[in-house]
Amino acid sequence: MPPSAIRLVRFPGRLLPALAAVALLVFVFLALIALTDGAGSGLAAWLTTLGVGAVLAMWRGRRRTWRARLVPFLPVAVAAALTASVCVPTVPTARRYPPALPFVTAQKWSLTTGSRVAVYHYPPAHPGPRHPVPLVYLNGGPVRGISVLDHRFLQLLARQGYDVYAYEQAGGGRSDLLPMGQYTISRPVRDLAAFIDRLDKGKVDVLGFSSGGTVLTRALADPSVAARLHRAIIAEPGPMDGPTAHVTGHKGRKSARDLAPAPTGPRSTHVPRYAVAFGLMRLGLLSPDTGLIGQAEGDNAFTAADLGSDTAGAYCARDAHRIPVEDTPQNFFFSPAASLRIQQTVKDSPSIASQLSQSRTPAMLMIAECSSQVRQWETAVLAHDPAIQRTQYMPAVGHHMWNGLDHNNDQAAAVINAFLQDKPAPLPNYPTRDEIPTFLRDHK
C-alpha cells in the first residue's frame, strides 16, 4: 500500500481521539462553570480547564520527541479557543435603557420600598364622562418592559374615559435594576402599595395581566394592600403560590406554539456566552446572580427572538400566520435572570388560599380560550377568592387577549369597561365557581 494511502487510513484514527479530547475538555469546562457558578466571568473555569488539559497533554507527550510532544496540545488549544468565547462579553455590561417612546413620556418615580420605576400616564381622552377612579396597569413578565401593543391598548382605555397609569416593575423596561437578591414575588406587591400611595388619588382600580395578575392576586390576599384597591381585574394569571405552581394540568385550546413561523432577528442564544449562561440558568445549574454574566449584561443581550415560542404560545392556532409584531426592537426588554428568580420565589412560597378567602375587593377574572397558562392556575383564583363577581371566558383569543387582531382590543375593553362601571357583562359569566370541575373536565 502506498504511503499516502496509509496516511489516509490512519487519519480518522488520529482525528477521532483528538475530537474526543476536545469534547471532554469542553464538558469539563461546562461542569466547572456550574460548580463555580461562573466565577470571574467564567475565567476560573477556563483557566482550570486549560491547566487540566495542559497537564494531560504533557503526560501524553512524555517519552516522545520534542515535536511529537506538541501534538497532544492541539486539542487543548482548540478547546481553549472554543470555551474562551464563553468568557468574553459581546454586549455592553452596563445597563442600557430603551430610548424614549415617541407617544408618551416616561417619568421616574422613587417609591418608599426603594424601587425606582418608570411611570406612564394616559389621561382621559374622551369628551364624555370620565371614570372617577384611576386605573393602574400591571404588565406581565415578570420583569419585562411594557410592549407597544400594550401601550396601544392602554391608549384605547384612555379614549374611553379612564385615567390610566402604568409602571414597569422594578428591573424591567426603563425602571432601575434591583440587587438580584431583592427580586421576589413579595417585592412587586409592596411596590404596588407604594405606587398607589405615591399616586395619592385614593383607591384605584387595577388591571393585572399574566404575572401582573399573580401580583394582583397576592395583593388581594394582603389586607394592607387590598385596602388601597377599589376593583381588581385579574387577566390570565400565573400561579398564585407554591402549591398552585406545582399543579400540573391542561392549558386552553391549541395555541400557535410550534405552528407559527420562526421569529426573525438576532438571538442571544446564538452567541456561545449567552447560550451557555441562559441555558444553564434555565436548567437550574447556574444561579440568577451568577458570576458568568451580570444582570445588566444579560438584560442587554436578551432579544425578542429569544422569546419566539413563548410569543407564539400567546396566540390561537388559527392566528399562527398573522401574529402581530408586539414590540419594537428598541423598546423590547426582558430580564431572564430576574424573571427566573421571581418565578422560583413563587414556587417556594406557602399557600395564600386562606388569606385570599378573606378578600372583599370586587374582582373579575379574565381567561382566554387559547390560554397558554395551566387552567388550574386560573381556576385556583376563582375557587379561593369569594369576591370574584364575574368570570369572562374570552373567545378567539390567546394569552395576549388585546393583540390588535380583528376586534380583540374592543372586546377586551368592553369586558373591562362593563365591570369597572358595574354594568351587565357583555359575555356570559363562565365558568362560575360551581362550574370549575366541569370546565376542567371538558378541557375548555
| Per-residue pLDDT tens over the stretch 58-70 | 776 666 655 656 6
| Calpha distance 207→377 (Å, rounded) | 17
204-209 and 135-138 beta bridge pairing? parallel
The DSSP 8-state label assigned to residue 316 in this structure reads B
Has residue 13 got a pLDDT over 50? no
Query: What's the pLDDT at 246?
Result: 95
Amino acid at residue number 294 = G
Query: What's the pLDDT at 233?
Result: 98
Amino acid at residue number 190 = R
Has residue 216 got a pLDDT over 70? yes
Q: For the residues of 355-399, what is the DSSP string, one character each?
A: HHTT--S-EEEEEEEE--S-HHHHHHHHHH-TTEEEEEEEEEEES
pLDDT > 90: percent of the chain: 82
Has residue 29 got a pLDDT over 50? yes
| Calpha distance 249→247 (Å, rounded) | 7
- Sorted by sequence, the CB contacts under 8 Å of residue 259 that are 6+ apart come out as 312, 317, 320
User: What is the torsion angle, in degrees rounded to the nearest 10, for the CA atoms of residue 153, residue 323, residue 258 and residue 342?
Assistant: -20
- Spatial contact of 336 and 415, defined as CB atoms under 8 Å apart: no
Average pLDDT, the chain: 92
Record the cell numbers describing residue 355, joined without a space: 388569606
Closest by CA position to 380, among listed 281, 276, 249: 249
Ordered structural domains, the chain, with CATH:
3-87 (no CATH), 107-256+324-441 (3.40.50.1820)
Assign 207 a pLDDT band (cuts: 50, 70, 90).
very high
User: Is pLDDT larger for residue 59 or for residue 130?
Assistant: 130
* CA 334 remoteness from chain centre: 6
Over residues 66-89, the mean pLDDT reads 81
- Spatial contact of 140 and 210, defined as CB atoms under 8 Å apart: yes
Checking phi first, is residue 284 left (phi over 0); if not, alpha (psi -120 to 50) or beta? left
Has residue 2 got a pLDDT over 80? no
| Calpha distance 14→92 (Å, rounded) | 42
Global pTM? 0.92
Q: Look-up: residue for cell 516522545?
A: 64
Over residues 410-432, the mean pLDDT reads 97
Record the cell numbers describing residue 90, joined without a space: 459581546
Query: What's the pLDDT at 443?
Result: 86
Amino acid at residue number 332 = F
User: Is pLDDT larger for residue 186 or for residue 56?
Assistant: 186
| Calpha distance 355→442 (Å, rounded) | 29
Amino acid at residue number 355 = Q
- Sorted by sequence, the CB contacts under 8 Å of residue 305 that are 6+ apart come out as 263, 264, 265, 266, 267
pLDDT tens-digit series, residues 289-300: 999 999 999 999
Query: What's the pLDDT at 4?
Result: 47
Over residues 369-382, the mean pLDDT reads 96
